[in-house]
Amino acid sequence: MLLKIHFILIVFTAVTFGSVQHNNLIIAVGDELEFLTDGNAYRTLTLNSYNATKLSALAYDATTRKLFFSDQRHHYGHIFSVSLDNESHRPVEDIVEKNNNETVESLAYDPVNKMLLWTDGLNRAIRRVQIDNDPIHIEEKDGVQIVHFLENDAKPRGLVSDPCTRMLYWTNVHDSNPTIERSFLNGSHREIVLHSDLLLPNAFDLDIMEQMIYWAEDLHNGYFRIERSYVNGTGRQEFYRGMGSFIVSLTVGEDYVYWTDYSHKKLWSLRKDGSSEKPIILRTFRYPATGVVVFRHQPLDCSLVKIHHQAHRADGETLTIIFSTITLLMVLAMAAVLVIRLKDNRRPLVLSKKNEGTFAFQNLENGSSNNNVYTACERAI
Ligand SMILES: *[C@@H]1O[C@H](CO)[C@@H](O)[C@H](O)[C@H]1NC(C)=O
Ligand SMILES: *[C@@H]1O[C@H](CO)[C@@H](O)[C@H](O)[C@H]1NC(C)=O
Ligand SMILES: *[C@@H]1O[C@H](CO)[C@@H](O)[C@H](O)[C@H]1NC(C)=O
Ligand SMILES: *[C@@H]1O[C@H](CO)[C@@H](O)[C@H](O)[C@H]1NC(C)=O
Ligand SMILES: *[C@@H]1O[C@H](CO)[C@@H](O)[C@H](O)[C@H]1NC(C)=O
């Protein structure tokens, strides 16, 4: 019962206070980084004392307000970071030195252990490096550890980490046997999440709050598709199928999925809840955009993961119906409950702290203050 009330509270809050909004995005285009606010205002991020060549993989850390990126044709560096704290001063640091024998396809940052991870497709490896002190500069030989060294012909491509569940997910664009896999961030418990009906899961992201993975592939017949499933591979569904564009990168925001494509050189957006049929074009670039990430002002609040997780146990479409029905029917009832609650005492609307589910973070304190959210998550495990 309590759970239901909380669920309804969330719906109520969402309906009353939360309209659908675009996330702010950082986009890599050629030798430039672009910042997109509310889906329409653009500006180029100038980088101090740094000449970019061809930017690609991006990862953003809201705890330190640092953006990590790789620069494919840079003479000395491989992976860089830039602090986005100060509008007028954005110092770039060379974090991982260039090694002609290695590639960086995708970057992920774990704020709990301050670990930067990346896929090296050429060497079939997922590597990591600890970013503990500022400034940091690592020669490839020292400091870089291998999380996974994959089998013959494997090609790790997309990579995402989940600070809340301590998991790592990646796609393997193997020619004949592509997979989507996961393990703990420390490399243990590696397992294959999906292996059937995959072609080239090139662009990849994780919706941490909903615990769903999204991937995009080229279908070789002029079409591409974006699919999603729960992180354990169940509940797989086609999210969108479109024509004529190879998807280069994809990121999942609160309300929208965003992707960039090669042939049209555009940034697209599509509502996650399925309420819009066609994707909306947010921007057309001079070159294909090679990376896109959501820019968050606050780190994710892991204590909220469980609620969404439970709410989504139902099948997606049924859930949408349940959602709208409950919303319509219960808004009035909730108003009454709220009035009674407010009369009762002046407690703010906090989410449950009780152990009601089976999700790993049920014991977390409610994270209305975002300090040490990740640390709290780690302690909970
Ligand atoms: C960037 O390029 C300009 C012009 O080629 C050069 O003068 C400058 O020294 C370069 N800066 C760095 C940090 O490489
Ligand atoms: C931002 O950078 C500028 C230029 O380096 C500096 O003058 C200013 O003090 C910095 N602002 C903050 C808040 O650090
Ligand atoms: C390049 O990588 C391969 C496989 O990881 C390794 O055997 C080889 O020694 C490397 N070559 C250089 C020059 O580092
Ligand atoms: C790896 O991480 C998992 C989950 O965080 C933990 O349960 C496990 O003990 C760790 N294994 C090692 C070898 O550290
Ligand atoms: C996979 O995840 C879904 C959604 O969280 C859950 O309902 C289902 O029981 C899980 N299946 C397995 C086999 O763990």
Give the model's confidence band at 222: pLDDT under 50 very low, under 70 low, under 90 confident, else very high. Answer: confident
* Ligand 4: residue whose CA is nearest its atom 3: 184
Q: Is 276 found in the same domain as 316?
A: no
For a ligand 4 pocket test, name from 184, 185, 361, 381 the mutation site with the most ligand atoms within 8 angstroms of its C-beta: 184
Domain of 72: which CATH number? 2.120.10.30
pLDDT band at 344 (very low <50, low <70, confident <90, very high): low
Predicted confidence (pLDDT) per residue in 84-138, tens digit = 988 888 989 888 887 778 889 999 999 999 999 999 999 999 999 998 765 556 6
Smallest CA-to-CA distance from 245 within 228, 223, 227, 229 is with 223
Q: Does 268 lie in the same domain as 375?
A: no
Residue 233 sits in the same domain as residue 246: yes
Q: Nearest C-alpha to atom 14 of ligand 5 is from which residue?
A: 232
Q: Is the domain of 224 the same as that of 365?
A: no
Residue the block writes with tokens 């059937």 = 196
Instruction: Looking at the structure, tell me whether residues 69 and 214 fall in a common domain.
Output: yes
Looking at the fold, whether 206 and 340 belong to one and the same domain comes out as no
Q: Is residue 285 part of a domain?
A: yes
Shared domain check, 313 and 167: no
Residues 380 and 252 in one domain: no
Whose C-alpha lies nearest to ligand 2, atom 12? 86
Residues 79 and 91 in one domain: yes
Task: Answer whether 87 contacts ligand 2 (Cβ < 6 A).
Answer: no
Q: pLDDT tens, 50-73?
A: 888 899 999 999 999 999 999 988
Residue 221, helix vs strand vs coil:
coil
What is the number of domains present in the chain?
2
Q: Do 331 and 225 lie in a common domain?
A: no
H/E stretch holding 65 reads none
Q: Whose CA is nearest to atom 8 of ligand 5?
A: 234
Nearest CA to ligand 5 atom 4: 313
Instruction: Identify whether 50 is part of a domain.
Output: yes
Cα(103) to centroid of ligand 3, in Å? 12
pLDDT at 191 over 70: yes
Predicted confidence band of residue 356 (pLDDT cuts 50, 70, 90): very low
34 shares its domain with 51: yes
Q: Does some domain include residue 3? A: no
Amino acid at 35: F
Does 1 fall in a domain? no
Ligand 2 centroid distance, CA of 219 (Å): 49
C-alpha of residue 120 to centroid of ligand 5, in Å? 30
Three-state secondary structure call for residue 54:
coil
221 lines ligand 2 (CB under 6 A): no
289 and 334 share a domain? no
Measured CA to CA in angstroms, residue 53 lies from 66, 70, 75 at distances of: 20, 10, 9
- Provide the domain limits for residue 262: 22-300
